[in-house]
C-alpha cells in the first residue's frame, strides 16, 4: 500500500490536486463556480471568434497591410454579407433541429448540457487559450512549450529561423523519461550546429533554464545537417542525488570495454573508451576532477591484465587505495617525486619503443595495423599512467642534464608526455592527466593537441574551457565555464571514440564513487591480480621504481632553443615555449605586458634582430577579430636560427 501511495505521489501524470484529499475536497466545493466561469469564458471566446469571422477580419487586415483596402472594399462587403446569411441559415437550422430532437426524444437539456461542457473545456484556464492574453504571464507548462506553433515562435524569437520560415515536424512531441522530446527539420540552408551554438537563446525563448534543454543533431541514415532532436526536462536534471557507479557491483571488467563514466541529462548512460586514446581532465578545485579520473581508473583496476602507474601530486589520500594494485605508485609533490616521474616516463618510452619493435616481427594476422589487439594484450598488457595535478611536475624548474643539453624537469616531462601521447596509444598505453590549472602556460599546447579525449568540469572562463576541450569549442556551444557551481561532477565530455551521444560533445554527470567504493574496487582488483598471477611492481612487494640516477636520460624530439640568445629574443622564446611551434602570430601588446618592457625600445631591439612587426587579424574576447600589430612566429624562429649562428659575445654585439 505504501508503494502505491508513493507511486501516486511521484507520478507526473496524476494532477497535483488529486495527490491531497484536502485539495480534492476544496476543488469539489468550488467546482460549480469554476464550471460557470469556464462556460462564460468559453462563450466569450466563441463570440469573439464568430465576430472576427463574420466581419472578414483576416481579409481586411491583409488588404490594409498591402494598402489596397479601397480596392478590396466591394469584395469585403460582399463576403461579409454572405457570412451574415450563412450565420442566419445555420441559426435557423440549429433551432429547428433542436426543436425536433426535443419533440421526438426530449433531448433539449442533454444538448444544452453538452454545449455547456464544450464551452467549459474551451474556456478553462490554460496557457495559450484563445481570447485571453495576460499582461504578466505565469509559468509555462511544458505541454504548451512543446506545441508546434510555440516551437516555431521560439525558433523565430531566438533568430534561428526567419519570420517567413517555418519548421517541419519529423517526430511529434512525446514523453521521454522525465521530459519531452521532439524532432524537427530546419528550413533549407539552416544548420543544426547553429541551434546547438545558440541553445541558451532558444531556452530563453522557450522559458526554461538552459540546463533543461538538450539539443542534438540527428546523424546517420535518419539524419542530416538540418535535423534537430530536442529534449526538454521537467526540472533541473542535475538537482537529484548522483547515481553510484555500476562498477562497485562488477565482479571484473575488460579494459577493452568503455568504462561507465556517467549519465547525461536524459539519464542515458555515457561510457568512456580508454584504449587507443588518452584523456585530459580539467577543472577548478572541488568540482570532481579526481573523482572523474578515478572513474576512468576503476575499470582498469578491475581488469587483472592491466598495468597501472599512479602519480598523485596532490599528496592527499584520494589515490592511496590504488597502491595495492599499481605497478608504480607515489604520492607527494617534492623534487624527488618529480624526478621519480621522469624515471617512470623514460621507462614507458623504452617500453613503447620495444613494443613497436616486437610488433614489426609479428604476422599480419596477429598484428594487422601496428596496434595492440585484445589477443596481444596478454603479452603486451594495457598500461595506464594516471597523473593527478599534472601542473605540479610540468611547472617544476629543477635543472637536469639530458645528454648534451640542459633543461628543467618540467620541460623534459612535457616532452616525454607529448611523445607518449603521440606514440603510446597504439602500443597500449593509456595516458590520463588531471589538472586544476587548465591554462596555456601550464599544459603545453603540443601536449594538449595530442590528447584525444577531453573532460572539462567547471572552469573560470571560456578560454580555460577551450584549453581543455579544444579551440573554438565555446563558439560551437560547449563552454564549461557556464556550468553551475552547484552541479558537482557535471562536465562536458569530448570523447575520442563512440559514446551514446551523436554530438561532438555531451554534458555528463559523472557517477558517484566515494572513497569506500574506491577502496572496495581496489581490493577486488588486487584479489583478481593475485588469482591471475599478474601482481607486479609496487603492489607485489619491494618497490622497483626506476630512479633517475640509474636510467639513461635521452632527449625525445627535443626542440629547446639555444641558451645564449640575445635579449629580448631569449625572453620572448621562454615566454612562448611550445606555443612558438603552434601559434602563427603573437600581438605586440601581449609580449609587452608579459615581459614588462618599454614598447618603443622593445620594437627597436626586435627589429635589430630581424623581427619586424606587422598588422594581422587576431580573435578578441567576444569572439570577433580585429587587426593588431605583432610578430609572426616564423620570423621569430628565423631570428633564433640566425642568432644561434652568430657570436654575440664579440665586439659590436650586445650580450
Q: What is the pLDDT of residues 478-495, one digit of tens each?
A: 888 888 888 888 999 988
- Distance from chain centroid for Cα 78: 61
Could you tell me the residue ranges of all domains in the chain?
2-122, 142-233, 246-460+513-550, 569-644
Do 178 and 233 contact (CB within 8 A), yes or no?
yes
Do 259 and 274 contact (CB within 8 A), yes or no?
yes
Half-sphere exposure of 586 (CA within 13 A, CB side): 25
**pLDDT at 549 (0 to 100):** 40
- How far is Cα 399 from Cα 563, in angstroms, rounded to an integer? 13
645 — pLDDT class (breaks 50, 70, 90): low
**pLDDT at 132 (0 to 100):** 42
Tell me phi and psi for residue 431, to 5 degrees: -110, 120
Whether the pLDDT of residue 374 is over 50: the answer is yes
Residue 290: CB partners within 8 Å, gap ≥ 6?
Answer: 314, 318, 319, 388, 434
SS3 content of the chain, % helix, strand, coil (to 5): 45, 15, 40
**pLDDT at 104 (0 to 100):** 80
The average pLDDT across 349-367 equals 87
Helices 633-644 and 569-576: angle between axes, nearest 10 degrees: 130
Do 485 and 458 contact (CB within 8 A), yes or no?
yes
Do 122 and 46 contact (CB within 8 A), yes or no?
yes
Q: Strand order in 625-632's β-sheet?
A: 585-587, 625-632, 614-619
Which is it for the CA torsion 50, 51, 56, 60, positive or negative?
negative
**pLDDT at 497 (0 to 100):** 61
258 secondary structure, DSSP code: P
**pLDDT at 648 (0 to 100):** 40
**pLDDT at 531 (0 to 100):** 93
Do 248 and 513 contact (CB within 8 A), yes or no?
yes
Strand, coil or helix: 207: coil
Whether the pLDDT of residue 11 is over 70: the answer is no
- How far is Cα 346 from Cα 173, in angstroms, rounded to an integer? 57
367 — pLDDT class (breaks 50, 70, 90): confident
Strand, coil or helix: 402: strand
The average pLDDT across 564-581 equals 76
Whether the pLDDT of residue 420 is over 90: the answer is yes
Do 283 and 436 contact (CB within 8 A), yes or no?
yes
Strand, coil or helix: 211: helix
The mean of the pLDDT values for the chain is 81
Tell me phi and psi for residue 197, to 5 degrees: -65, -30
416 — pLDDT class (breaks 50, 70, 90): very high
- How far is Cα 385 from Cα 36, in angstroms, rounded to an integer? 73
The average pLDDT across 526-533 equals 93
Residue range 309-341, pLDDT digits in tens: 999 998 888 999 999 999 999 999 898 999 999
In this structure, the strands spanning 383-388 and 429-435 are parallel
* Domain 142-233 -> CATH class: alpha beta
Strand, coil or helix: 181: strand
**pLDDT at 595 (0 to 100):** 79
Whether the pLDDT of residue 655 is over 50: the answer is no
CA proximity to 507, closest of 517, 515, 498, 495 = 495
Do 510 and 290 contact (CB within 8 A), yes or no?
no
Residue 616: CB partners within 8 Å, gap ≥ 6?
Answer: 585, 627, 628, 630, 632
- How far is Cα 600 from Cα 592, in angstroms, rounded to an integer? 10
**pLDDT at 145 (0 to 100):** 62
Which CATH number applies to 569-644: 1.10.10, 1.10.760, 1.20.1070, 2.40.170?
A: 1.10.10
Residue range 438-471, pLDDT digits in tens: 776 778 878 888 888 999 998 888 888 888 888 7
H or E stretch covering 175: strand 168-175
**pLDDT at 327 (0 to 100):** 94
CA distances from residue 338 to 326, 399, 420, 505, 559 in whole angstroms, order as listed: 18, 11, 17, 34, 21
**Residues 82-86: contacts with CB under 8 Å, at least 24 apart:** 83/53, 83/54, 83/56, 84/54
Tell me phi and psi for residue 56, to 5 degrees: 55, 50
In angstroms, how far apart are the furthest CA atoms of the chain?
Answer: 126
Whether the pLDDT of residue 405 is over 80: the answer is no
- How far is Cα 567 from Cα 357, in angstroms, rounded to an integer? 44
**pLDDT at 516 (0 to 100):** 93
Q: Which of 17-31, 550-564, 630-644 has the lowest mean pLDDT?
A: 550-564
User: Is the domain 246-460+513-550 a CATH 3.20.20.70 member?
Assistant: no
The C-alpha cell at 88 is 442566419
**pLDDT at 421 (0 to 100):** 92
In this structure, the strands spanning 307-312 and 383-388 are parallel
**pLDDT at 67 (0 to 100):** 60
Statement: the pTM of the whole predicted model exceeds 0.85: no
Amino acid at each position: 500500500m505504501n508503494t502505491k501511495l508513493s507511486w501516486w505521489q511521484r507520478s507526473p501524470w496524476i494532477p497535483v490536486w488529486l495527490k491531497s484529499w484536502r485539495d480534492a475536497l476544496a476543488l469539489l466545493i468550488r467546482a460549480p463556480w469554476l464550471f460557470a466561469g469556464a462556460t462564460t469564458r468559453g462563450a466569450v471566446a466563441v463570440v469573439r471568434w464568430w465576430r472576427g469571422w463574420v466581419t472578414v477580419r483576416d481579409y481586411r487586415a491583409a488588404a490594409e497591410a498591402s494598402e489596397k483596402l479601397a480596392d478590396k472594399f466591394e469584395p469585403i462587403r460582399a463576403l461579409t454579407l454572405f457570412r451574415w446569411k450563412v450565420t442566419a441559415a445555420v441559426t435557423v437550422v440549429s433551432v429547428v433541429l433542436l426543436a425536433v430532437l426535443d419533440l421526438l426524444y426530449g433531448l433539449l437539456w442533454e444538448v444544452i448540457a453538452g454545449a455547456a461542457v464544450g464551452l467549459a473545456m474551451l474556456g478553462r484556464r490554460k496557457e495559450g487559450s484563445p481570447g485571453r492574453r495576460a499582461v504578466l504571464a505565469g509559468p509555462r507548462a511544458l505541454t504548451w512549450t512543446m506545441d508546434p506553433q510555440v516551437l516555431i515562435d521560439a525558433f523565430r524569437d531566438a533568430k534561428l529561423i526567419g519570420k517567413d520560415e517555418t519548421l517541419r515536424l519529423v517526430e511529434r512531441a512525446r514523453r521521454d523519461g522525465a521530459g519531452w522530446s521532439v524532432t524537427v527539420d530546419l528550413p533549407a540552408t539552416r544548420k543544426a550546429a547553429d541551434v546547438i551554438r545558440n541553445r541558451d537563446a532558444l531556452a530563453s525563448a522557450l522559458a526554461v533554464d538552459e540546463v533543461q534543454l538538450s539539443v542534438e543533431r540527428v546523424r546517420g541514415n535518419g539524419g542530416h545537417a538540418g535535423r534537430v532532436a530536442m529534449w526538454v526536462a521537467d526540472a533541473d536534471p542535475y538537482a537529484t542525488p548522483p547515481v553510484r557507479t555500476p562498477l562497485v557491483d562488477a565482479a571484473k571488467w575488460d579494459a577493452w570495454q568503455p568504462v561507465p563514466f556517467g549519465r547525461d541529462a536524459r539519464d542515458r548512460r555515457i561510457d568512456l573508451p580508454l584504449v587507443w586514446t588518452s584523456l585530459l581532465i580539467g577543472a577548478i578545485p572541488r568540482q570532481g576532477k579526481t573523482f572523474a579520473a578515478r572513474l576512468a581508473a576503476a575499470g582498469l583496476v578491475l581488469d587483472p591484465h592491466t598495468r597501472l602507474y599512479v602519480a598523485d601530486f596532490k599528496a592527499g589520500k584520494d589515490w592511496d587505495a590504488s597502491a595495492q594494485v599499481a605497478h608504480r605508485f607515489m604520492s607527494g609533490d617534492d623534487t624527488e617525486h618529480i624526478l621519480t616521474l621522469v624515471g617512470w616516463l623514460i621507462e614507458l618510452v623504452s617500453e613503447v619503443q620495444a613494443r613497436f619493435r616486437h610488433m614489426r616481427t609479428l604476422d599480419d594476422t596477429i598484428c594487422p595495423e601496428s596496434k595492440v589487439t585484445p589477443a596481444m594484450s596478454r603479452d603486451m598488457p594495457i598500461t595506464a599512467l594516471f597523473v593527478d595535478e599534472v601542473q605540479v611536475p610540468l611547472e617544476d624548474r629543477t635543472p637536469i642534464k639530458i645528454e648534451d643539453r640542459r633543461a628543467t624537469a618540467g620541460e623534459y616531462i612535457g616532452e616525454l608526455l607529448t611523445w607518449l601521447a603521440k606514440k603510446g596509444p597504439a602500443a597500449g598505453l593509456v595516458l590520463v592527466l588531471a589538472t586544476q590549472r587548465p591554462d596555456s602556460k601550464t599544459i603545453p599546447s603540443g601536449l594538449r593537441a595530442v590528447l584525444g579525449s577531453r573532460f572539462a568540469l567547471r572552469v573560470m572562463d571560456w578560454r580555460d574551457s577551450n584549453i581543455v576541450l579544444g579551440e573554438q569549442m565555446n563558439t560551437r556551444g560547449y563552454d564549461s565555464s557556464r556550468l553551475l557551481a552547484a552541479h558537482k561532477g557535471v562536465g562536458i565530455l569530448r570523447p575520442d571514440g563512440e559514446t551514446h551521444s551523436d554530438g561532438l560533445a555531451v554534458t555528463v554527470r559523472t557517477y558517484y564513487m566515494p572513497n569506500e567504493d574506491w577502496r572496495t574496487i581496489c581490493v577486488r582488483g588486487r584479489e583478481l591480480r593475485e588469482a591471475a598471477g599478474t601482481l607486479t611492481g609496487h603492489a607485489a612487494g619491494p618497490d622497483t621504481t626506476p630512479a633517475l640516477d640509474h636510467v639513461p636520460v635521452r632527449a625525445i624530439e627535443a626542440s629547446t632553443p639555444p641558451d645564449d640568445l640575445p635579449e629580448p629574443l631569449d625572453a620572448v622564446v621562454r615566454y612562448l615555449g611550445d606555443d612558438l611551434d603552434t601559434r602563427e602570430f603573437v600581438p605586440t601588446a601581449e609580449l609587452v605586458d608579459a615581459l614588462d618592457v618599454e614598447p618603443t625600445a622593445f620594437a627597436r631591439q626586435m627589429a635589430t634582430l630581424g623581427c619586424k612587426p606587422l598588422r594581422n587579424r587576431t580573435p578578441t574576447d567576444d569572439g570577433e577579430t580585429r587587426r593588431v600589430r605583432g610578430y609572426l612566429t616564423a620570423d621569430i624562429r628565423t631570428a633564433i636560427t640566425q642568432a644561434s649562428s652568430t657570436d654575440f659575445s664579440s665586439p659590436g654585439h650586445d650580450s
